[in-house]
Amino acid sequence: MKNRVTELLGIRYPIVQGGMQWVGRAELAAAVSNAGGLGTLGALTQPTPEDLAREIERCRTMTDQPFGVNVTMLPTVNPPPYERIFDVILAQGIRVVETAGNVPKAVFQRLHAAGVVIVHKCTSVRHALAAEKRGVDIVSIDGFECAGHPGEEDVPGLVLIPAAASALRVPVIASGGIADGRGMAAALSLGAEGVNMGTRFVATREAPVHEDVKQALIAARENDTRLIMRTLRNSSRVLLNPVSEEVLELERRPGGAAFEVLRPLVNGQRGRAALESGDTRNGLIWAGMVAGLIDDIPSCGELIERMVGQCRARLAAAAVLVAG
Ligand code: NAD
């Protein structure tokens, strides 16, 4: 499969693994890159920029294929040392950076000056156009179905992907709502030139999370996610569990709940502990609606080969409709 996305990212298939917090580690990123997609390390998963440098080096011992680093700039409990994180990314010669959130113009300029390809994630056409103006190379457009932060405008991929593809000149990667070759074929038909998947890659053999987290994704249906922190305008899609229910309960109270009240429930360290221990009822498990489409735990290689085969079959089946 060759198009602008595969060319810019130096990959065989236009399939990108989102740089998920606590999950985007070397084991997963290397497996995705070895399978022909783009694996991504999550910069904020590492406690310090020095640890990020070591993780990049560890990833390089597991793959000789390109991989990227995600840097998310959203509200955090402990603001990360972004300047030093970018120092490490550049010093390590990383060629692809996935950015998300409120990224200062100077960051884009610095990455570009070093020849880095920037994939910017956003959740509205308005923000995508602003990012294009600032020179990002690819926009990863994140529909309402997605895990994590879908923004506040609630436009699902079926509308958002073609709207972005029509408005932008740079290539679009479709993110949110994709878990198999059917979703990939649909995204390509809507005008995207690649797909980004997060939740689907959590339920793979190489994902560095407890087996019970993978089983929880298999058990979940498409209506088993919840949007929390909407009252703070920091909406976040997570699995339905006692913690997300408690957050919603607090938010529903008259006057809502200040972040400080929600913090013991939502903080990342608690979610990390749940991912590592498999106690999926005791911390936030970030997941998209595609949890309802996941029913096995393949290797990344099996997943990507199966997706590409299914995508090709779907596109070929659709081509029959225009043959006559
Ligand atoms: P954290 O412990 O810093 O924060 C936990 C959650 O609370 C996050 O959703 C964060 O956005 C939110 N938050 C923190 N401070 C806030 C404030 N003052 N007001 C409102 N909301 C606030 O987060 P973490 O789990 O260690 O993750 C680190 C970063 O990665 C955060 O910015 C988080 O949003 C981001 N993240 C992104 C995704 C995604 O889908 N892109 C998924 C998980 C985490």
Task: Kindly report the backbone phi and psi dihedral angles of residue 277, in degrees, each rounded to the nearest multiple of 5, phi listed first.
Answer: -90, -20
- What CATH number has the domain bearing residue 308? 3.20.20.70
pLDDT in tens, 175-208: 999 999 999 999 999 999 999 999 999 999 999 9
pLDDT in tens, 138-175: 999 999 999 999 999 999 999 999 999 999 999 999 99
39 and 155 housed in the same domain = yes
184 and 38 housed in the same domain = yes
201 and 220 housed in the same domain = no
Task: Let me know if residue 294 belongs to a domain.
Answer: no
196 and 85 housed in the same domain = yes
Domain of 134? 4-206+299-323
Output the six-digit token pair for 256. 């809502």
Ligand 1 centroid – CA 195 distance (Å): 23
Phi-psi domain of 278 (left: phi exceeds 0; alpha: psi -120 through 50; beta: other): left
52 and 173 housed in the same domain = yes
CA-73 nearest atom, ligand 1: 32
143 and 276 housed in the same domain = no
Binning the chain into helix, strand and coil, the percentages to the nearest 5 are 50, 15, 35
Q: What is the pLDDT of residue 77?
A: 87
Ligand 1 centroid – CA 272 distance (Å): 12
145 and 278 housed in the same domain = no
User: CA–CA distance from 227 to each of 110, 154, 237, 246, 249 (Å)?
Assistant: 34, 11, 5, 12, 12
Ligand 1 shell residues, CB under 6 Å: 21, 44, 72, 74-77, 100, 147-149, 229, 232, 234, 236, 259, 266-268, 271, 286
Q: What is the pLDDT of residue 280?
A: 97
Could you write out the DSSP letters of every residue in 220-266? --TT-EEEE-GGGT--EEEE-SHHHHHHHHHHHSTT---HHHHHHHH
CA-76 nearest atom, ligand 1: 3
Mutate-to-test residue for ligand 1 from 77, 152, 250, highest number of ligand atoms within 8 A of CB: 77
Task: For residue 280, give the nearest of 250, 251, 244, 248 by alpha carbon.
Answer: 244
Task: Let me know if residue 255 belongs to a domain.
Answer: yes
107 and 230 housed in the same domain = no
Could you write out the DSSP letters of every residue in 167-182? H-SS-EEEESS--SHH
| Tokens 């309802």 sit on residue | 292
35 and 305 Cβ atoms separated by less than 8 Å = yes
